[in-house]
């Protein structure tokens, strides 16, 4: 078991999401930065479906009641075990009563904690990913007790460690594909999208990231049509809305661009202090 002593700003349980439920209007969900969450699971030899904790901006404070092994990836929130700094991107042995804390956000925006065998919270429609309207719990709260798989340390187990710093945190170029309504923009508007610099607005969450500044346009709304995480919608007011993992399944704004999977992961690690460029995937 894990006891949640502090939840952090916005922490949820996430796996790969609810594939196959979108025709019922159910968002796919899943880890915002799927690369970092998969990385954390891989370090422990977990199944890629295993659920992890996703923490946003500030970290949680967790106490373990039984031995296990964990791995931390994504944003660097300066993790500490019993008050001593620990490394990220490495499997870490945990003893009963160990307390995991995070002191401050140094780089990136979302941190992932994987535990050997995964977090065993409620499965709804094939996934443990928390989201309003589908799962009972919509985020991790102080006082929660989260079940984890039983695990006994192996005598000679070597700690897996991968010695590199993922580019996902430092990269500032969003790779995109052309969206279905891209060609409704004028040539000048199309060019401007790839020349201009954009900033992450304060309207950013698991549903969508809005970019600044406004992008003037005269596009008409479309008949409500399917959208996916990574779809960039352009509103009549000029808001560029990048849909993220918890987005609706359909929308009525023109879809001018589509982020690659990599670009979604990268954007998930950005906050209001970041500026971005958009580049067409080669």
The interface mask with another protein, positions 207-226, x = CB under 8 A, is ---------------xxxxx
CB crowding 174-205: b at 16 or more within 10 Å, else e = bbbeebbbbebbeeebeeebeeeebebeeebe
Span from 39-47, 89-97, 137-145, 253-261 in contact with another protein (CB under 8 A): 253-261
145 binds another protein (CB under 8 A): no
- Judged by beta carbon, residue 1 or residue 280, the one nearer another protein is 280
**Separation CA 1–CA 4 (nearest Å):** 10
Contact call for residue 282 and another protein (CB under 8 A):
no
Q: Which of 228, 235, 271, 274 binds another protein (CB under 8 A)?
A: 228
Q: Within the chain, where are the H helices?
A: 34-43, 187-195, 261-268
Contact pattern for another protein over residues 102 through 141, marking x by CB under 8 A: ----------------------xxx-----xxxx------
List, edge to edge, every strand of the sheet that includes 79-81: 84-85, 79-81, 99-102, 61-64, 2-6, 145-146
Q: Taking CB under 8 A as the rule, does residue 180 contact another protein?
A: yes
Looking at the Cβ atoms of 122 and 141, the one nearer to another protein is 122
Phi, psi of 36 (to 5 degrees): -70, -35
Tokens at 169, concatenated:
């945190």
Q: Is 83 in the site for another protein (CB under 8 A)?
A: no
The contact set with another protein (CB under 8 A) reads 19-27, 124-126, 132-135, 177, 180, 222-226, 228, 230, 248-250, 258-261
């Amino acid at each position: 078991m894990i006891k949640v002593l502090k939840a952090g700003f916005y922490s949820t349980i996430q796996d790969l999401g609810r594939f196959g439920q979108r025709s019922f209007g159910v968002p796919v969900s899943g880890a915002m930065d799927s690369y970092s969450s998969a990385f954390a699971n891989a370090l422990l030899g977990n199944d890629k479906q295993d659920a992890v904790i996703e923490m946003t901006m500030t970290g949680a404070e967790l106490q373990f009641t039984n031995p296990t092994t964990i791995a931390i990836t994504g944003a660097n929130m300066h993790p500490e075990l019993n008050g001593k700094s620990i490394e990220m991107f490495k499997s870490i042995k945990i003893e009963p009563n160990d307390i995991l804390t995070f002191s401050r956000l140094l780089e990136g925006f979302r941190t992932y904690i994987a535990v050997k065998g995964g977090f065993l919270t409620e499965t709804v429609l094939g996934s443990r990913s928390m989201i309003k309207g589908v799962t009972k719990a919509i985020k991790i709260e102080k006082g929660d007790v989260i079940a984890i798989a039983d695990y006994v340390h192996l005598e000679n187990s070597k700690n897996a460690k991968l010695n590199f710093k993922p580019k996902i945190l430092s990269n500032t170029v969003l790779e995109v594909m052309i969206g279905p309504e891209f060609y409704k923009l004028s040539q000048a508007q199309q060019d401007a999208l790839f020349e201009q610099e954009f900033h992450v607005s304060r309207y950013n969450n698991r549903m969508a990231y809005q970019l600044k500044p406004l992008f003037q346009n005269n596009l008409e709304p479309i008949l409500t049509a399917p959208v996916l995480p990574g779809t960039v919608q352009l509103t009549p007011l000029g808001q560029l809305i990048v849909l993220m993992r918890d987005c609706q399944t359909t929308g009525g704004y023109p879809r001018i661009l589509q982020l690659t999977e990599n670009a979604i992961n990268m954007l998930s690690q950005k906050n209001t202090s970041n500026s971005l460029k958009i580049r067409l995937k080669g």
